[in-house]
Copies of this chain bind each other. A is one copy, B any other.
Amino acid sequence: MKTAVFVEPGKVETQDLPKPEIKQPTDAILKIVRACVCGSDLWWYRGISDRPKNTPVGHEAIGIVEEVGSEVTDVKPGDFVIAPFTHGCGHCAACLAGFDGDCLNPSDDEVVGYQGEYLRFKNANWALVKVPGQPSDYTDDQLNDLLTLADVMATGYHAASSAEVKKDDTVVVMGDGAVGLCGVIAAKLRGAKRIIAMSRHEDRQKLAKAFGATDIVAERGGDAVKAVMSLTDGAGADAVLECVGTEQSVDTAVKVARPGAVVGRVGVPQKADMNTNNLFWKNIGLRGGIASVTTDDRNILLDAVLKGEIHPGKVFTKQFDLNHIADAYAAMDKREAIKSLLIVSQ
């Protein structure tokens, strides 16, 4: 079967590899319908983070269950599912509390290769999210919306829920990548009245506005702080979504928060150490981490997509097939695409 493989920094190619097989009784084999490239894939693509060479890649997909292990009862062959990048067991204290991204029963048995024709998915019983009907029941746009629930929309939502965005809040969203843009959608979905998107790229500003941003701040650093303070009468934002992870972005996020606000962060921290006194003396909270994909999909996001209330699939601004995987990565690397879609089968 065809699967995208990381060869070396700057080089991803489609190779013909053996179709995966059930290894654990809790596994499922999925036939992938659509997959996509994540901003975090660019780290190893660009050689910023290490990744073993010649490994299958991708961690976001939707597909059809082809086969299930003996202990899988929640999904059956033929079911249309979202394949989250997380694999919560569904019964540990973390999963039960809604933090399936930090499942307490991880296994060394890593799942790789969502950007391919077939995928072995572990903890299929709980972690897969069933979608009603079949892919053919949905339009292309709807399939794209569903695909975002495997990671990017759930991650944007995690920023908003970690920041405890509530009705009528004024929210600042740091970052105009696909996650930040989904953060705008999430803030609106949770009832924010005013959404200030920090963005300096015209195409992304436009999408942020389409998603519900009421204000755009193009400045960075101290100027960005001034701009937000001016927009909020000197008070700062009720909630801040940090969807970048750089030291400057985290610093700005804290500075634009009003006392008592929470910075919800999903941008992987570039720097571990941080001056937390700045949080303490303003009662600013810091929450966030790996998204609660399965939990949030089941409780709110799938419903919002099925009802057509949100359209996160618009973050896919270019589409490719597996034969053009190199182009899909290059388009994101060169910022020609906000997020690259892969049509695998239909």
Find residues 269-294 in chain A having any chain B CB closer than 8 Å to their own CB: 269, 272-277, 279-290, 292
Q: Which residues of B contact A93 (CB under 8 A)?
A: 232-233, 235-236, 258-259
The answer, yes or no, to whether A260 is at the interface (CB within 8 Å) is yes
Asked whether A98 and B277 contact (CB < 8 A) given A92-B235, A93-B235, the answer is: no
**Residue contact A97 to B259, C-beta cutoff 8 Å:** yes
The range of chain A's interface size is 35 or more
Chain A 246-278 interface 0/1 with B at a Cβ cutoff of 8 Å (1 = within): 000000000000111110010011001111110
- Asked if A281 and B276 make an inter-chain contact with CB atoms under 8 angstroms apart, the answer reads no
Would you call A238 an interface residue if the criterion is a C-beta within 8 Å of the partner chain's C-beta atoms? Answer: yes
**Are A262 and B289 in contact (CB-based, < 8 A)?**
no
Tell me if B285 and A285 are in contact (CB < 8 A). Answer: yes
Q: Is the CB of B274 within 8 A of A276?
A: yes
**Shortest distance in angstroms between A97's beta carbon and chain B's nearest beta carbon?**
5
B260 adjacent to A269 (CB under 8 Å): no
Q: Give the residues in chain B near A279, CB-CB below 8 Å.
A: 286, 289
Q: 19 A-B Cβ contacts within 8 A? A: A93-B258, A94-B258, A94-B259, A97-B238, A97-B261, A101-B283, A102-B281, A104-B259, A268-B280, A269-B276, A269-B277, A273-B275, A279-B289, A282-B289, A283-B287, A283-B288, A283-B292, A285-B286, A285-B287
How far, in Å, is A155 (CB) from chain B's closest CB? 12
Chain A interface residues (CB < 8 Å from chain B): 92-94, 97-99, 101-102, 104, 162, 232-236, 238, 258-262, 265, 268-269, 272-277, 279-290, 292
User: Within the oligomer, what is the number of copies of this chain?
Assistant: 2
CB distance from A82 to the nearest CB of B (A): 21
The reply to whether B283 and A102 form a contact with Cβ atoms under 8 Å apart is yes
Which chain B residues border A261 with CB–CB below 8 Å?
Answer: 97
Give every chain B residue within 8 A of A269 (Cβ-Cβ).
276-277, 280
* A258 to B103 Cα, complex, angstroms: 10
Q: A235-B104, A275-B272, A285-B285 are in contact. Are A97 and B280 (CB under 8 A)?
A: no
